[in-house]
Amino acid sequence: MEFLTSLAGACAPAAGASDARACRAGRGALRLMAGVAGLCVAFGLHAAELVVAHVGPFTGPLSVNGLPNYDGGKACIDEVNAAGGVNGHTFRLVREDDKYKPDETIRLLREVAQRDKPIAFINLLGSASVSAVLKNRTLEELKIPAIGVTPGADVLRNPGSPWIFHVHASDNAQLKRILSQLNSVGLNRIAVAYQDIPFGQSGMKYIDQLAPSLKVEIVGRVPVPSAADSLAAPAAALRATQAQAYVMILVPNSGASLVRDVRSGGDKTPVYGMSYVPVAGILEKAGGANATGVGLAQVTPNTFSSSTGLVRSFHAAMDKFAAPGTAHSQLHLIGYLSCRVMVEGVRAAGASPTPERLRASMQKVRTDLGGYFLDFTEGNDGARYVDIGVITKEGRLLY
C-alpha cells in the first residue's frame, strides 16, 4: 500500500514532457495494481483463520459425551486444514469446559464470543445447559450460530432458536422408531426409565402421547436423577412392573449403569435405549454377556461398518489426526458430523464469511455427506436418519 501511495504521489502535475509521460505510465500501473487488488478481494484471496468454538462438558459425568464430540470435531478441523481450508480460509478450534453447569455454559459462550470472535459454536451438549441458552436468548444476543446440539429433545427444538442448527434426528424420531420396533415384535407392555431433567421429561411426555396410537401400554414410569450412576433402585422398580421391555431415556453414563444394574439382578427383560448411550460404556459397565442384545436407536450410519462415504471419511480423519488409540464411536462421529456441516455452511457463505452470513448460508444447505442427507432449506432441523442397532456378542452394533 505504501508503494501505491508513493506512485500516486509521483503523478502530481509535472513540468516537462518526460515527466508527463512518466506520470501517465505511473497512473496506468496504479490502475492495473488496483484492479489486481480488487480481484483478490472478489475471489477471497485475503485468507484468514476462522475460529470455531466448542463449549461443553469436558469434566464430570457428561464428559463421556463431551470429550468424544470434541475429538471428532477436532479431527474434522485438522482434516479440512490439511486439505487447504475452505475458500482460502483455515480453521482453529478452541474449547472451554462448562462442567455441565448451565450458568457456566452461558458465561463461557459470552466470554469466548468476546475473546475469540468465533464464526460458529459447534456441539452444544446437555439439555439443562441448552435450555438455559434458549431461555436467556444467548445466541440471539451474541449473533453467532451453533451447529450441532445434543440431545435432540423436542423442548430444545420447538420453538428453539433461529441460531441453532440440528444435524441429527430428534429424540422424538428415535423414540418413535423404538416403539414402532417393539410393537412390530409384539412387545406392547413397556416400562420407561427417564432422566429427571428436560431431556428425559420431554421424551417421557412424547411416549405418553405416542403410545396409544401404536397400541403400546406403559406399565411403569421410573424417574432417574440427573447423571446418576447407581441405578439399583430404578432397576428394581422396572422389574416390579413386569413389563415386556424397558425403554431408557437416559444420558450416557446412566444408560450404561442401568443395563448393568438390571442384568446384575438377574433381569433378562429386553432393554432399548437412545443413541446417546455408547456401546463401549455398556460393555465397560455391564460386560459383554450382559450387553448382548441391548437395542440402541442410532441417528448416524453405523461406525462399525464402512458402507457409507461419511463413515469412511470419519475413520480416515480419526486414523490420521486423532491421538493413537482414540475410539471411533458414534459420539465421535456426531462431533465430526457437526463440524462437517459447519464447513459446508462456511463454503456456501463465500469469500468473506461472518457469523451472520454463515447463519444465512446454513439455511440454504442441502447436501449429501456420503450416505447422510441434510436439508436446512425448510427449517433448522436438517436430518431424518434413524435406525435401530443391536449389540452383538462381539461387542459391535448390528444394523
Q: Is the dihedral of CA 140, 143, 147, 149 positive or negative?
A: negative
Q: What are phi and psi of 119, to 5 degrees?
A: -75, -30
As assigned by CATH, the class of the 172-298 domain is alpha beta
Q: What is the pTM of this model?
A: 0.83
In the chain, CATH 3.40.50.2300 covers: 49-169+306-375, 172-298
Ranges in the chain, pLDDT < 50: 1-45
Residue 224: strand pairing partners: 195
Residues 355 and 266 sit within 8 Å (Cβ to Cβ): no
As a whole number of angstroms, the distance between CA 42 and CA 86 comes to 15
The CATH number of 49-169+306-375, from 3.40.640.10, 3.40.50.300, 2.40.110.20, 3.40.50.2300, is 3.40.50.2300
The SS3 call for residue 311 is helix
Residue closest to 187 by CA, chosen among 246, 240, 122, 139: 246
Cell numbers found for residue 355: 457469523
- Name the residue type at position 117: K
Per-residue model confidence (pLDDT) at position 61: 86
As a whole number of angstroms, the distance between CA 193 and CA 198 comes to 14
